C-alpha cells in the first residue's frame, strides 16, 4: 500500500490570491492528498481577487508555528502580492522553506510566491518563473527567470516548481501531483 501524500499550503492571513489557494487545495484533495493549510496566525485568511478586490475568507487548519516540514511531502506557496510580501518577512515561513529545501522535499510556488525564496536564501541557482514583475528581483538574487507555464528545477539538490499566475493553475497543480506520484 502506498503512503498517503501530505501537502502543506502556507500563507499569511491577508492577501493570498483566492484561486491560487483554493484551486491547489481542491485539486490535491480530490487526488487523495492530505492537505493542511497553515497561516501565520492560524486565524481566518482573507483572500483577494486580482490583488485588489476582497474575495472569500478561508479557515486554515493550523498556524505556521504549529507545523513541521518533517510531516509533509511538499510545500505549496500560493501568491498574491500582499501575501507574498508579508511572507518575505515571516521568519517561520522562511524556516519552513529552508527545512523543505534542506530535506530535498519539493516546493511549489506560483505568481508572487517565488519572492519568498529570495528572503529564504533559496533563489540562487534556480531556474524559475513567476509573475513578470518579479523577474528582475529574482535575477538579482541569482535565479534564471523564464516565461513558461510551469518550470521544474532540480538545481541545488531540491525540486522547485513554479508558475506565473492563476492562468497557469492547471499546469501548476498537475506538476505538484506528478511530483508526488499521485
> pLDDT category, 3, cuts 50, 70, 90?
confident
CATH of the domain spanning 6-180: 3.40.50.880
Q: What is the mean pLDDT of residues 154-182?
A: 97
User: CA 8 to CA 47: how far, in whole Å?
Assistant: 18
User: Which of 31, 26, 38, 117 lies closest to 72 in space, CA to CA?
Assistant: 38
pLDDT at 2 over 80: no
Quick one: pLDDT at residue 53? 96
> Which residues 6+ apart lie within 8 Å of 108 measured at CB?
24, 74, 75, 76, 77, 160, 161, 162, 172, 175, 176, 179
Q: Has 153 been annotated as catalytic?
A: no
The tally of CA atoms less than 13 A away on the side-chain side of residue 5 is 19
> Which residues 6+ apart lie within 8 Å of 165 measured at CB?
79, 110, 111, 131
User: CA 66 to CA 133: how far, in whole Å?
Assistant: 33
Per residue in 80-112, pLDDT (tens digit) is 999 999 999 999 999 999 999 999 999 999 999
Q: Has 111 been annotated as catalytic?
A: yes
Catalytic residue among 105, 112, 126, 164: 112
Contact 24, 169 (CB under 8 A): yes
C-alpha cell at 126: 534556480
Catalytic residue among 74, 77, 111, 113: 111
Q: Domain limits of the chain?
A: 6-180
Q: What is the mean pLDDT of residues 69-84?
A: 98
Amino acid at each position: 500500500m502506498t503512503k498517503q501524500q501530505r501537502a502543506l499550503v502556507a500563507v499569511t492571513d491577508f492577501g493570498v490570491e483566492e484561486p491560487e489557494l483554493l484551486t491547489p487545495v481542491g485539486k490535491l484533495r480530490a487526488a487523495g492528498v492530505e492537505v493542511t493549510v497553515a497561516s501565520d496566525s492560524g486565524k481566518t485568511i482573507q483572500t483577494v481577487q486580482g490583488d485588489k478586490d476582497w474575495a472569500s475568507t478561508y479557515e486554515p487548519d493550523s498556524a505556521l508555528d504549529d507545523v513541521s516540514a518533517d510531516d509533509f511531502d511538499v510545500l505549496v506557496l500560493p501568491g498574491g502580492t500582499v501575501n507574498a510580501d508579508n511572507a518575505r518577512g515571516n521568519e517561520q515561513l522562511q524556516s519552513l522553506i529552508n527545512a523543505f529545501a534542506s530535506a530535498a522535499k519539493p516546493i511549489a510556488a506560483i505568481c508572487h510566491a517565488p519572492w519568498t525564496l529570495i528572503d529564504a536564501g533559496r533563489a540562487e541557482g534556480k531556474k524559475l518563473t513567476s509573475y513578470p514583475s518579479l523577474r528582475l528581483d529574482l535575477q538579482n538574487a541569482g535565479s534564471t527567470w523564464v516565461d513558461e507555464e510551469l518550470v521544474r528545477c532540480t538545481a541545488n539538490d531540491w525540486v522547485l516548481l513554479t508558475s506565473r499566475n492563476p492562468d497557469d493553475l492547471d499546469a501548476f497543480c498537475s506538476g505538484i501531483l506528478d511530483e508526488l506520484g499521485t
